[in-house]
Amino acid sequence: MVLFEQVVKRFGSNIVLDHLDFSVAQGERVTLIGPSGSGKTTILRLLMTLEKVNGGVVYVEGQPLSHMKRGSQLVPANERYLRTVRKKIGMVFQQFNLFPNMKVLDNVTEAPIHVLGLSKEEAVDRAKQLLDLVGLGDRINQHPTSLSGGQQQRVAIARALAMQPDVLLLDEVTSALDPELVADVLNVLRDIAQSTTITMLIVTHEMQFARDVSNRILMFDKGRIVEEGQPDKIFSNPEHERTQTFLRAVLEER
């Protein structure tokens, strides 16, 4: 479903991803963990086409995402091509990024109407279902700014799902929330993980959540995967010393 092939990403002289290879299967839930600055967000942003690769190729469903075919060659993708591949991907951001100029319902219907070409009724129906799913069916006419962080983030999840992506990217979606609001958001995501087959790439420091929903954990350090495996193995019996110290540090934080 998702394939990184020798992907290099640099910011100036800072090499963030150094010939990274990894893949995620259709329907798989993969959690990326690792210390700050290890490149987790960068990976998600590359997939969302918010950043460009400096080397290598990113594929989604076998189609190059970072590049397009011109003849037999791969050349960097242009905006028009990006729009055809980007529709497979949805993202939820740490800071929600809801649109303050739109009510809750419009946040969830505008893109389906204008981008997917849904009729208003269809988009509203779908949005209401999704907002019910995230527990906000009674807030559709409010402004996002009048909601708590946890509620805003749940709207953002509904908004991303309304585009029916094949891959959902979740970048520390509870990090900006007050502790008492985290559980609601994670429960919504657990629901979605259980009731759909959507492929998920998750970056989180919520280790219990990662354990519950993931099929596989990737431990990153300095833009490389230092260890990967099933959650039970990584959390109970990490092999790599870097993973052990990282997990110990995260657990101590709580």
Partner 1 sequence: MGTFLTQLGDSAGNIGAAILVTVEATVLGAILALVLAFILGLLARSRFLVVRGIARTIIEFFRGTSLYVQLFWLYFALPVLGFQISSALLCAVIAFGLNFGAYGAEVVRGAINAVPKAQWEGAVALNMTGFQRMRLVILPQAWIGMIPPFNNLLIQLLKSTPLLSLITVADLTFEGQQLRAATGQTALSYLFLLVVYFILAYIFTLLMNALESVAKARLGRGGGLRGLFRLREADPTGRSAGAGAGGGA
**Least distance to partner 1 from the beta carbon of 45, Å?**
8
Q: Does 174 help bind ligand ATP (rule: CB under 6 A)?
A: no
Binding mask 32-51 for ligand ATP (x = CB under 6 A): --x-xxxxxxx---------
Q: Does 11 help bind ligand ATP (rule: CB under 6 A)?
A: yes
Compare residues 41 and 174 and give the one whose CB is closer to Mg ion: 41
Q: How many CB atoms lie within 10 A of CB 40?
A: 23
**Least distance to partner 1 from the beta carbon of 101, Å?**
4
Q: Does 240 help bind partner 1 (rule: CB under 8 A)?
A: no
Measure the CA–CA gap between 138 and 215, rounded to whole angstroms: 34
Measure the CA–CA gap between 222 and 240, rounded to whole angstroms: 14
Among 25, 115, 249, 251, binds partner 1 (CB under 8 A): 115
Cα–Cα distances (Å) from 50 to 41, 82, 83, 158, in that order, read 11, 10, 12, 20
Among 31, 38, 41, 66, binds Mg ion (CB under 5 A): 41
DSSP-assigned beta bridge partners for residue 75: 68
Q: Does 69 help bind partner 1 (rule: CB under 8 A)?
A: no
**Least distance to ligand ATP from the beta carbon of 14, Å?**
6
Measure the CA–CA gap between 118 and 162, rounded to whole angstroms: 11
36 binds, among partner 1, ligand ATP, Mg ion, none (CB under 5 to 8 A by kind): ligand ATP
Q: Does 50 help bind partner 1 (rule: CB under 8 A)?
A: yes
8-37 binders of partner 1 (CB under 8 A) = none
Angle ∠(16,28,95) on CA atoms, nearest 5? 55
- DSSP letters spanning 99-125: -TTS-HHHHHHHHHHHTS---HHHHHH
Residue type, 35: P
SS (HEC) of 177-227:
CCHHHHHHHHHHHHHHHHHCCCEEEEECCCHHHHHHHCCEEEEEECCEEEE
Q: Does 91 help bind partner 1 (rule: CB under 8 A)?
A: yes
List interacting residues with ligand ATP (CB under 6 A): 11, 14, 16, 34, 36-42
List interacting residues with partner 1 (CB under 8 A): 48-50, 79, 83, 86-87, 89-91, 93, 95, 97-102, 110-111, 114-115, 143-146, 159-160, 163
